[in-house]
Structures are given as structure tokens and as C-alpha cells.
Amino acid sequence: MRALRLKAWKSDPVLEEVPVPSPGPGEVLVQVGAAGACHSDLHLMREFDEGLLPWAPPFTLGHENAGWVHTLGEGVTGLEPGQPVAVVGAWGCGTCSRCLDGLETYCERPDLAPVPGGGGGLGLDGGMAEYLLVPGARHLVPLPEGLDPVQAAPLTDAGLTPYHAVRRSAAKLVPGSTAVVIGAGGLGHLGVQVLRATTAARVVVVDPRDAARDLAVASGADHAFAPGPDTVQAIRELTGGVGADVVLDFVGSDDTLALAAASMRQVGDLTIVGIAGGTLPVSFFGLPYEVSVQTTYWGNRRELVEVLDLGARGLLRAETTLFTLDDAAEAYRQLEHGTIRGRAVVVP
């Protein structure tokens, strides 16, 4: 089968012919229906290097996957060949206390996990291929009626990651509150929809791209600004001077973190989701009182079930730009150049 593989850090991926995996006991072979191209993969190709992560290339890219159950390994029950499924991307040990809580993203026995701190497309072979080997049935969620793999795939990361971040701040997103979304690309445009579907907050978006701001407004944002010298003042004016209750930074650069910090309301949440590698100096008078700063990584199985439910009911809808597997490398080029609308999704 064909697979788009990252062969080394700081390199472009290569389309190669590789054997179709065969599922061992407890494993499931999924026929890939769609695999999203996440900006994190660009960080892997451009910035990451030896030693930064507990895993390394070579592996097949694609950590945002959905498709159909193809072959069940020995002992797997509860799934049927042909059944449409979404893949829960982080693969932990399944038995430590974090994994038992469903937080396989934060597995505390990485030595017992198939890959420490990763999953398919992050250290192990991912979904930018015709088939994906999934190490356990618990990593699959049957798709609800009305949701196909092309819609479901982006929801497994670009939808799930903002959902997890928004749920974490749900208590602060009451009527009259304001949420700021910095970066309205793959994650951000769905972050806006998650805010609209699950909270009563007013939603303000900041993105330099006209097309991203248009998509944000079409996704339900109340206001959209290009970043500039007046952005903080504009956010303060919209909020009667007090600032934003929650800022979700889907970029994470020095500039966006500074913007986030300057836009905060006292007792607000500043959540860093983007991994552009910026830093935010934290000191007692450097932030409004009682602002919480947090990072979030992906989301869990239970949250994915909820996200897919929102998707099936039309409350979350990923805007997609489709590519074939032969053109998958082009999807990343366009993502890098900022010309993708919504999420780039590879359909093999």
C-alpha cells in the first residue's frame, strides 16, 4: 500500500510503498477513509529534532483518522468489519490511573504503551496510508449515524483538542463572558464552533488571514480582528474594559502569548494549545490577578464521543479541503503557506 512517511527529523515526507500490516491479537486493521493534515506535523518536519520527544521517525504521518474496520485481530469483539469508526489518537498503556480515567494523552507508564506519549502518526505508523493498524479496540469509536469518515477525521484532533480546552474552562464561559480564539485555522475554526455549541460566551477571533477570519465568522464568531497594535484595545473595548474571560491560543508564539496575556480579565484562563514554541514570562504583576495559565494536549475518548455527537447533529462541521494520498505532501505545502481553508484532509 502507499503511505506518506516521515523518514527523519527536519525533512519532507515521502510517499512510499509499504506492506499492509496484519493485526495481531487484540489489534484492529482499519481501512483509512480520511486522515487530516495537522500543523503539528509541520512542526515535526521543520523544528523538532533528536531527543526532544520520546519517539522518532521513521513512521507514517497522519494522527487524525477515521475509516472502516477491516480485519479484527484474535480476541477482538464488539466491532464488525465494514463498520465506520473514528480513531482515538493517543495510545497509552491502558492500565495506569490516567489511562483508566481515559486520559491516555497523559499515560504515566509510557514504558508499557505502544509508543511513549504518542500514537499512530506520532511515533507509530499513522493514517496517511491505505490501512492503519490500531493496537486496541478501545482506540476506536463507532461513528454515529450521519457522520462519514471525511467529516469525522478532522473532529478527532482539530475538533477534539479545542473541545477539551473549552470544557476545561466551561465554568468561566457563562452568559456575558468573552472567549478569544487566536488562530482560526484547522483547530481554531472548530474551536469557534465548539464555543458556540457548548457555551454562551461571546466569541472573538484574531487571525492575520482574511480567509481565516471569514471562515471564523461563518463558523459563528461575533468579531474577527487581524492582529495589530490595536487588537488588545479592541478586545478591551468589546468587554467594557475588563478583558477576556478565556483566551485560547492556537498559535503559541511570543507575539500571540503576549497578546493573550494583555487581553486577559482577572480570574480568567489563558490556555496554550499551539506549539509554535513561544514563551510567556510569568510573574506576580505580569498578569491580571488569578489568571490561570495552562497548556492542553489533545482530548480523551469520552470527549471524542461527545464531539462526534455534535458532528452528527450538525453542531460541529469541519470545513475541509480534500487531497488524494498521491497529493498528500501538497496538502502540507499548502498548510505551510497558509492557503488551506479549514482542515486539509487526505482521502486515500
Residues in contact with Zn ion by CB under 5 A are: 38, 40, 92-93, 96, 99, 107, 109, 157
Residue with cell 527529523: 9
Tell me the closest approach of the beta carbon of residue 54 to Zn ion, in angstroms.
14
Q: Which residues contact 230 (CB under 8 A, 6 or more apart)?
A: none
Among ligand NAD, Zn ion, none, partner that 117 touches (CB below 5 to 8 angstroms by kind): none
Tell me the closest approach of the beta carbon of residue 215 to ligand NAD, in angstroms.
9
Among ligand NAD, Zn ion, none, partner that 33 touches (CB below 5 to 8 angstroms by kind): none
Q: Which is nearer to ligand NAD, 73 or 342 (CB)?
A: 342
**The pairing of beta strand 264-272 with beta strand 28-37:** unpaired
Tell me the closest approach of the beta carbon of residue 276 to ligand NAD, in angstroms.
5
Q: Which is nearer to ligand NAD, 69 or 206 (CB)?
A: 206
Q: Does residue 318 contact residue 342 with C-beta atoms inside 8 Å?
A: yes
Q: What is the DSSP letter of 136?
A: -
- Residue number with the shortest CB distance to ligand NAD? 185
Q: Which is nearer to ligand NAD, 96 or 257 (CB)?
A: 257
Tell me the closest approach of the beta carbon of residue 289 to ligand NAD, in angstroms.
26
Tell me the closest approach of the beta carbon of residue 227 to Zn ion, in angstroms.
23
> Alpha-carbon distance 268 to 171, whole Å?
11
Tell me the closest approach of the beta carbon of residue 95 to Zn ion, in angstroms.
6
Tell me the closest approach of the beta carbon of residue 31 to ligand NAD, in angstroms.
24
Q: Which residues bind ligand NAD (CB under 6 A)?
A: 38-40, 43, 157, 161, 182-188, 206-209, 212, 227, 250-253, 255-256, 273-276, 296-298, 335, 338
Among Zn ion, ligand NAD, none, partner that 99 touches (CB below 5 to 8 angstroms by kind): Zn ion
Among Zn ion, ligand NAD, none, partner that 184 touches (CB below 5 to 8 angstroms by kind): ligand NAD
CA distances from 309 to 154, 156, 204, 316 (A): 14, 12, 25, 9
Of 63, 79, 59, 62, whose CA–CA distance to 71 is shortest?
A: 79
Query: Could you tell me if residue 243 is left (phi over 0), alpha (psi between -120 and 50 degrees) or otherwise beta?
Result: left
Q: Which is nearer to Zn ion, 84 or 299 (CB)?
A: 299
> Alpha-carbon distance 109 to 132, whole Å?
24
Among ligand NAD, Zn ion, none, partner that 209 touches (CB below 5 to 8 angstroms by kind): ligand NAD
Phi first, then psi, for residue 11 (nearest 5°) are -145, 160
Sheet bearing 14-17, strands edge to edge: 14-17, 2-6, 59-60
Measured at the CA of 261, the angle between CA 260 and CA 265, to 5 degrees, comes to 95
Helix crossing, 254-263 with 231-238: angle to 10°? 30
Q: Which is nearer to ligand NAD, 4 or 69 (CB)?
A: 4
Q: Which is nearer to Zn ion, 40 or 256 (CB)?
A: 40
Q: Does residue 113 contact residue 331 with C-beta atoms inside 8 Å?
A: no
Tell me the closest approach of the beta carbon of residue 243 to ligand NAD, in angstroms.
17
Q: Which is nearer to Zn ion, 90 or 204 (CB)?
A: 90
> Alpha-carbon distance 159 to 251, whole Å?
16
Among Zn ion, ligand NAD, none, partner that 256 touches (CB below 5 to 8 angstroms by kind): ligand NAD
Among ligand NAD, Zn ion, none, partner that 107 touches (CB below 5 to 8 angstroms by kind): Zn ion
CA dihedral 275, 185, 143, 123 (to 10 degrees): -30
Among Zn ion, ligand NAD, none, partner that 215 touches (CB below 5 to 8 angstroms by kind): none
Phi first, then psi, for residue 31 (nearest 5°) are -80, 120
